[in-house]
Structure 1
């Protein structure tokens, strides 16, 4: 057993990485939560095939925002993308992503960067941008979606997966009862200020969770086209099956 493999097997992971030796690392999500990984992957794979079809994927680039341990970057490489990069705000996530890639025998670059600090001119655009499990942990989800749009190449695809809040709609007095604006959706405030040490939580503690209607409206307003909610497999993770989470495909 190599030192890298021993280090991989010595800790528990969020994702079920299969190492180059064939061994699968120990994981900590409970069995009822683990299907979120396979459900997201099935939905992602179908969206990629629908959008890119038979294009030679070795010519395509992909970016995984808030990549965590890098598992979806591995999946993108398996789907044939020629250049895959991952970014995450947490230094320990980047460290773990690099370790997992080494243990799995993969050449994948991971960099530490907050989504709001990424600049398309410096970073470069990608044909596919993943934004999975990110925006509902942010205090500025609209800014993150603007970044995702800027990083998506013309004609490219962005996949956004998030928890969603119940929606509010209807008229809203806007300064006076004679001046009324329609509500286009809403964001729910969730407090994670005591949980910022957690690996799957906010780095600031203030979280704005969009309703589905707000998410779709904002995606269109920041410049995406053909925004659509992806279908969920019949045996998919319960949060996605019941619409408490969604994955949305947005074409630039």
Structure 2
């Protein structure tokens, strides 16, 4: 999607009746009654954006209006092949939502399809279901018991590093009572999904105060010059047999994006589903360590492999190409290896909080690969290629 088309999408989002966001297993947006906001003390009334973010996060001057029939750009529409294939991450469209005209309802479906598929979710937007590759609520429920006991998360400044389309940024609204929320992700498609949803919100919605920085982890580099750069990622991918996917390369910052962080350090950082996409996990963790306040906490969640009782030491799979059908997987560690990564990166009070099977958490209706397709039905715990099947591991560590 080009910038001009994205501005058309934002202009359409602004034209809808202002919405509020209801956070839950399905994150819902719509012009609901004020009384249905989630029970939370987090009611930030205004943005915490810096001047450097204002141009991206605010509403543009001279906004581009949609052109063509029924408001669709270039006279196109949902049936003319401009979006993803039918069923690619989207559910069947219901009748027009109360308050929207049939034309608005149709154009909303067009933009949701055009911006998809959505990897994290699901969402409901003015009554229209938006399916997602992940049932992200499942991971949230695994992590929530630990988050709600941590004052750094509840009351401090929190960063979600590698936040995708912001699903967990919205879920944080359920538990936070103070502090700010920032998401970072370099993938332009994820940023566009977040901004499209946020642009519909009433200015006094708590979710309108969330910042999203479209950049990689290098933006966290501290004043001492911890800037990390791995220019060999594309070259290595080409020679490993894996297709290079810039949206899976979380060290990448989009060209031309020179952003300053709204604030420099954090009380808590969530880094979920990121570290195994990194060619240098320790460099990532050292950068995170430098971005935490003294005593700050990291919640690290990763794809991993189970511990081998017969070999109680750090282990990690280094895939030759795809792993469990997914590309961009550079290493799949066990919990002991993650502990060693964290220790070598300067963290203390390192804990393994939870491990779980996630094979039921992926949605095959999005057209993206799901773990169950690659499991060996005759050999539990293994993939069809003979490698151990992955689990999820949640760690906690402090600076």
Report 1:99-248 matches (<5 A): 99-103=196-200, 106-107=207-208, 108-121=210-223, 123=261, 124-165=264-305, 185-192=314-321, 202=328, 207-231=330-354, 237-238=358-359, 244-248=391-395
Runs of at least 5 residues in structure 1 that lack an aligned partner in the other structure: 172-182
1:76 matches 2:172:
yes
| Partner deviation per Cα, 1:56-105 (whole Å, 9 max, x = no partner) | 72xx2111111111111111233225311111121222222222333455
Alpha-carbon shift at residue 139 of structure 1 (Å): 0.9
TM-aligned CA distance change 1:42 to 1:218, over 3 Å? same
Among residues 180, 192, 195, which one is paired with 1:95 in the alignment?
192
TM-aligned CA distance change 1:92 to 1:169, over 3 Å? same
Question: What's the secondary structure of 2:164's corresponding residue?
Answer: coil
What is the RMSD of the two structures over their aligned residues, measured on CA atoms?
3.5
CA distance in 2, matches of 1:217, 1:17: 37
Aligned residues of 2:281 and 2:341 also touching (Cα < 8 A): no
Following TM superposition, the consecutive aligned residue runs of length 4 or more in structure 1 with deviations greater than 3 angstroms are 8-12, 120-123, 165-171, 191-194, 236-240
TM-aligned CA distance change 1:75 to 1:221, over 3 Å? same
TM-aligned CA distance change 1:192 to 1:96, over 3 Å? farther
Question: What's the secondary structure of 2:346's corresponding residue?
Answer: coil
CA distance in 2, matches of 1:39, 1:117: 30
TM-aligned CA distance change 1:24 to 1:48, over 3 Å? farther
CA distance in 2, matches of 1:13, 1:104: 19
Alpha-carbon shift at residue 130 of structure 1 (Å): 0.8
Q: What number of residue pairs does the alignment pair up?
A: 220
CA distance in 2, matches of 1:140, 1:228: 21
TM-aligned CA distance change 1:17 to 1:152, over 3 Å? farther
Aligned residues of 1:118 and 1:147 also touching (Cα < 8 A): yes
Aligned residues of 1:8 and 1:25 also touching (Cα < 8 A): no
CA distance in 2, matches of 1:249, 1:104: 33
Alpha-carbon shift at residue 118 of structure 1 (Å): 2.6
TM-score after normalising by structure 2: 0.48
Alpha-carbon shift at residue 49 of structure 1 (Å): 2.1
TM-aligned CA distance change 1:223 to 1:25, over 3 Å? farther
Alpha-carbon shift at residue 189 of structure 1 (Å): 1.4
Partner of 2:183: 86
Alpha-carbon shift at residue 187 of structure 1 (Å): 2.9
Runs of at least 5 residues in structure 2 that lack an aligned partner in the other structure: 1-10, 17-107, 224-259, 362-380, 382-389
Report 1:43-58 matches (<5 A): 43-52=142-151, 57=155
TM-score after normalising by structure 1: 0.72
Among residues 115, 119, 122, which one is paired with 1:16 in the alignment?
122
